[in-house]
């Protein structure tokens, strides 16, 4: 029971971690696009 709980907790942390990285990369990409657009203008 405790092992299963630990496993579930690990997977939820892992899922949140990858989601955070995805959000960060997305925001970073949008920032780069804005900078690139400003340079072109």
Give the per-residue pLDDT at 9.
87
What are the sequence ranges of the domains in the chain?
1-41
- Predicted TM-score (pTM) of the model is 0.45
In Å, what is the CA distance from 20 to each residue of 28, 29, 31, 37?
12, 14, 16, 26
Q: Per residue in 3-36, pLDDT tens?
A: 889 888 888 878 777 778 888 889 998 998 988 8
> Would you give the distance in Å from CA 35 to the centre of its chain?
21
Residue 41 has pLDDT above 80, yes or no: no
């Amino acid at each position: 029971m405790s092992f299963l709980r630990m496993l579930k907790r690990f997977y939820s942390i892992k899922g949140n971690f990858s989601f955070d990285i995805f959000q960060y990369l997305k925001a970073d990409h949008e920032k780069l696009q804005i900078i690139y657009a400003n340079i072109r203008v």
